Structure 1
Amino acid sequence: MIINNIRRVIRLKGLKQCVVAEKAGFTPNAFSSMLNERKAIMAEYIPDIALALGVSVNELYKKGDE
C-alpha cells in the first residue's frame, strides 16, 4: 500500500525517483530497491519520504479512494 502510494505521488507530481530519493536521504539505488520490494521500507523512513514528496505521512498510508 505505501509503495503504491509513493509511486502514485511521484507520478501525479511528475517527480523523478532519483530526486525524491536524494531529498529523502537515500541513494537512488536504495530507494529503487525499496520501491521494487527488494529492501524493506522501515517505519522511520516514512516521514523523510513524505517530506521529499511534499505530502503528509497520512497520505502515504491512505487506502484506495479515501
Structure 2
Amino acid sequence: MDRIKISTEYIKLDQFLKWVGIADTGAIAKIMILNGDVNVNGMVSKERGKKLRKGDIIEVKDIGSFEII
C-alpha cells in the first residue's frame, strides 16, 4: 500500500486519481469511477467529487491501494 501525503483538508477522488498518475485526464478518472473500479474505505465509490481525507484507503482495480496521510 502506498501512502500519499496531502497538505490540504481533503482532495477530491477524481483529482486524486490524476495527482498520483493513475488517470491521465479527468475524463479517464470519471470513467474509472463510474465503472466501479475504485473503492474508498472498502466500498465502491461512484462519486467523482468524493472528498478524501487523511486516513481514507483507496483501492483501484488492477493497480493497488493507497492511504491518505
Q: Same fold per TM (> 0.5)? A: no
Query: Into which bin does the TM-score normalised by the smaller protein fall?
Result: 0.3 to 0.5
Q: Normalising by structure 1, report the TM-score.
A: 0.39
Larger helix proportion, structure 1 or 2? 1
Larger strand proportion, structure 1 or 2? 2
